[in-house]
């Protein structure tokens, strides 16, 4: 209340000593068409209302931002079945992910309600690709776009999940990361299968090109047929030339 009064006084020359006394006025203000001192008072009061409304909106406006990744503690120990350098096929191979509380974590995990496991792009597959860009603000981060699973958190024993690599998974180099979420869905901890620089224990997924095997076979047959047809026309033309 004192803050709003101070802003109104500084910006509009508000001289009342009682905080926000103009909100308690019972009489309607004179119309702006009235000339002289009363019209000037009405204009000043309207300005005060506008200043207070703007300051209030700025103070109460929500901040458009998410949790900062740098603020999270590495409280989860994550392991995934692919080994460094492995190449998996989209739509065929499986990834098994296991997680548990990090033994070196000394914090309180009571707020952990859900574990959200994600497939994340390695820096090698982020270069010159703004749609995969890493951002410290997790609300804007595009590193981990592919969901593997979301399961309730249990601190007693390690948990695991098996996931078949989606057919729509792009060809890229990846690692696995898991976020611990609280009851509101905000990230409060994490773990990943790579180091802080995201350069170790990386694996690759080969995406589906979109062409079926029968398309390649048909294309090969038509190519061979065209060559044979051209050779046949050449022989026929040569024989006709000899008869002539």
Question: DSSP for 50-68?
Answer: HHHHHHHHHHHSPP----B
pLDDT for res 18: 47
Alpha-carbon distance 53 to 57, whole Å? Answer: 6
The separation between the first and the last C-alpha atoms of the chain, rounded to the nearest angstrom, is 111
- Express each pLDDT in 33-88 by its tens digit: 445 555 455 555 665 666 556 545 554 444 456 899 999 999 999 999 999 999 99
- Output the pLDDT for position 16: 45
DSSP 74: B
DSSP β-bridge partners for residue 176: 119
Q: What is the CA radius of gyration of the chain?
A: 34
* Exposure string over 151-185, b if 16+ CB within 10 A, otherwise e: eebeeeeebbbebebbeebbebbbbbbbbbbeeee
Among 142, 143, 83, 151, residue whose Cα is nearest residue 115: 151
Do 32 and 43 form a contact (C-beta atoms < 8 A)?
A: yes
Ranges under pLDDT 70 in the chain? 1-65, 210-217, 243-244
């Amino acid at each position: 209340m004192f803050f709003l009064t101070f802003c109104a006084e500084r910006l509009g020359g508000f001289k009342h000593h009682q905080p926000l006394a103009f909100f308690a006025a019972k009489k309607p203000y004179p119309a702006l068409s009235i000339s002289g001192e009363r019209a000037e008072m009405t204009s000043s009061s309207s300005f005060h209302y506008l200043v207070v409304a703007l300051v209030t909106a700025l103070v109460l406006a929500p901040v458009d931002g998410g949790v900062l990744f740098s603020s999270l503690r590495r409280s989860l120990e994550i392991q995934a079945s692919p080994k460094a350098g492995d190449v998996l096929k989209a739509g065929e191979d499986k990834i098994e992910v296991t997680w548990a509380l990090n033994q070196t974590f000394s914090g309180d995990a009571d707020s952990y309600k859900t574990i959200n496991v994600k497939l994340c792009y390695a820096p090698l597959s982020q270069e010159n690709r703004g749609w995969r860009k890493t951002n410290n603000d997790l609300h804007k981060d595009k590193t981990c776009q592919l969901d593997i699973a979301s399961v309730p958190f249990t601190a007693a024993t390690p948990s695991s999940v098996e996931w078949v690599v989606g057919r729509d998974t792009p060809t890229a180099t990846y690692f696995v990361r898991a976020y611990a979420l609280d009851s509101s869905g905000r990230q409060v901890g994490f773990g990943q299968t790579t180091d802080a620089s995201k350069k170790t224990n990386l694996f690759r997924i080969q995406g589906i090109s979109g062409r079926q095997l029968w398309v390649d076979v048909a294309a090969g047959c038509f190519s061979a047929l065209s060559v044979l047809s051209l050779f046949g026309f050449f022989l026929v033309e040569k024989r006709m030339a000899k008869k002539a």
